[in-house]
Amino acid sequence: MTATHARLFFALWPDAQTRAALVRWQRAVEPLCGGRVMHPDDVHLTLAFLGDTPIGLLDPIKDLGSAVRGASFALRVDRLHYWKHNRIVWAGLEETPAALTALVDDLRARLIAADIRFDAKAFVPHITLFRNAQPVEVWPELPAIDWQVDGFALIRATGGKGSRYRVEARWPL
């Protein structure tokens, strides 16, 4: 990253209770899959990944975030998955709430209207727990995590590979 660009994304940022539950999942699974554990303070659910973005767009992107509307909703994190192509272990949902889909649709429509680039591939709600992990034949039974979502955030990566994340702005739902 240069001084003229920042790596940005919109995300659901867990509250302390949800974060602690996700960390318990990480601890339970780490002996099985290994890999590089996501820092507990950085686990999140990405809504729209903007990537390397000119700093001059930071304020317009924050304005765009302020305009997004949505209702609060409950998520039930209840599944573990493995993406072979990038060796990621992630937590997911059996059911995606309509309010989450509507939030993503609104956010992406506003990004398109503002001509702000983002990764437009199909939205798969996921929370990355490990990178460079090994596949697991059978996942352990873990208690579902109920997450009451009442807002979203704009996140900025600080550093290069293995970077940490910081909240740039938050908005309520």
Catalytic residue numbers read: 44, 126
Q: Which residues pair with 82 in a beta bridge?
A: 89
- The structure tokens listed for 108 are 């992406």
CA 12 to chain centroid: 6
Spatial separation of the C-alpha atoms in residues 42 and 61, rounded to whole Å: 21
Contact assessment for residue 68 and residue 107, using Cβ atoms and an 8 Å cutoff: yes
- The structure tokens listed for 33 are 């899959």
Q: 3-state class of 109 per DSSP?
A: helix
